[in-house]
């Protein structure tokens, strides 16, 4: 049997966005399904991702990572992983809100987008000085948090060290899949942490400048957009790994 890969892909703007591209991806995946553990890794909640799987032609995954890495659910278990997220310091969502209350440009996202381990705002075109200022206000309360800014609009406050990338790494460990068998795919800022784990990466052709600037021999920039770009990139890395195995044999 072919070696197993963990594919951790963002959903909105990566797999979803173009129906023909999704059809091409689904067809590609069918040929490879036995050798891939498919994980949807999104800023949305796991519940919202499940709804998308039932209302679109997105293939059934093996696991979900939701709310920007803060929840992990393996489909066969039907409930979240107990030991995730692992907190490295003080996390208190009410205190996060209190620390950021005095910044009028921060508009809290609707309640359905908030979760116990993610406090999110809308804020347009934030500068790095503003981001530093918000981080300083959070540090003053001794909160161990990180800020993730995406699409020049979404600001997520997360427990320090918990993000899409560390969640994918946790799942790879859980399934005992080595990091050179993990491929991550994305299109925007909240995907950056997935590319910082030493995994192989795929940036879809329609990615925002936040990701388009990634330069590494482990990052493949697809020509094609949305899910067709995902299939193009996965084929690139998987056929390369197959060739390396043949060369060693
Ligand atoms: C999704 C979430 C939103 C978050 C954004 C970026 O759109 O619904 O809460 O801010 O992803 O991570
Ligand atoms: Mg996206």
156 lines ligand 1 (CB under 6 A): yes
- Whether the per-residue pLDDT at 174 is higher than 90: the answer is yes
How far is it, in rounded angstroms, from Cα 242 to Cα 239? Answer: 5
pTM for the model: 0.96
Please choose from 112, 150, 162, 208 the residue to mutate so as to test ligand 1's pocket, defined by most ligand atoms within 8 A of CB.
150
Residue 1 pLDDT level (bands cut at 50, 70, 90): very low
Cα-to-centroid distance, 68 and ligand 1 (Å): 7
Residue 2 pLDDT level (bands cut at 50, 70, 90): low
pLDDT digits (tens, 9 = 90+) for 98-142: 999 999 999 999 999 999 999 999 999 999 999 999 999 999 999
Rounded to an integer, the average pLDDT of 77-96 is 92
Cα-to-centroid distance, 204 and ligand 2 (Å): 10
- Name the phi and psi angles at 98, rounded to 5: -65, -40
Atom of ligand 1 lying closest to residue 113 CA: 9
Residues whose CB falls within 8 Å of the CB of residue 179, separated by 6 or more in sequence, listed in order: 169, 172, 197, 198, 199
158 lines ligand 1 (CB under 6 A): no
Cα-to-centroid distance, 188 and ligand 2 (Å): 5
Residue 243 pLDDT level (bands cut at 50, 70, 90): confident
Question: Taking the CA of residue 22 as centre, how many other CA atoms within 13 Å lie in the half-sphere pointing to its CB?
Answer: 17
Residue 213 pLDDT level (bands cut at 50, 70, 90): confident
Residue 212 pLDDT level (bands cut at 50, 70, 90): confident
Residues whose CB falls within 8 Å of the CB of residue 12, separated by 6 or more in sequence, listed in order: 42, 43, 44
Atom 5 (ligand 1) nearest CA: 43
How far is it, in rounded angstroms, from Cα 37 to Cα 44? Answer: 20
41 lines ligand 1 (CB under 6 A): no
How far is it, in rounded angstroms, from Cα 226 to Cα 120? Answer: 25
154 lines ligand 1 (CB under 6 A): yes
């Amino acid at each position: 049997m072919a070696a197993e890969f963990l594919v951790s892909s963002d959903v909105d703007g990566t797999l979803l966005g173009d129906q023909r591209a999704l059809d091409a991806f689904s067809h590609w995946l069918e040929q490879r399904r036995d050798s891939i553990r498919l994980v949807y890794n999104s800023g949305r909640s796991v519940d919202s991702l499940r709804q998308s799987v039932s209302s679109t032609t997105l293939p059934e995954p093996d696991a979900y990572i939701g709310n920007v890495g803060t929840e992990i659910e393996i489909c066969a278990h039907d409930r979240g992983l107990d030991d995730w997220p692992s907190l490295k310091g003080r996390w208190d969502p009410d205190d996060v809100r209190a620390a950021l209350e005095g910044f009028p440009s921060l508009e809290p996202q609707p309640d359905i987008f908030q979760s116990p381990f993610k406090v999110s705002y809308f804020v347009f075109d934030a500068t790095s000085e503003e981001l530093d200022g918000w981080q300083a206000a959070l540090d003053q309360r001794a909160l161990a948090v990180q800020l993730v800014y995406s699409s020049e609009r979404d600001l997520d406050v997360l427990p320090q060290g918990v993000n899409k990338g560390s969640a994918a790494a946790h799942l790879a460990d859980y399934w005992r899949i080595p990091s050179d068998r993990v491929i991550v795919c994305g299109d925007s800022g909240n995907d950056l942490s997935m590319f910082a784990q030493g995994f192989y990466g795929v940036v879809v052709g329609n990615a925002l400048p936040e990701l388009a600037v990634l330069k590494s021999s482990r990052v493949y920039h697809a020509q094609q957009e949305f899910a067709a770009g995902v299939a193009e990139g996965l084929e690139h890395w998987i056929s390369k790994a197959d060739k390396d195995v043949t060369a060693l044999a």
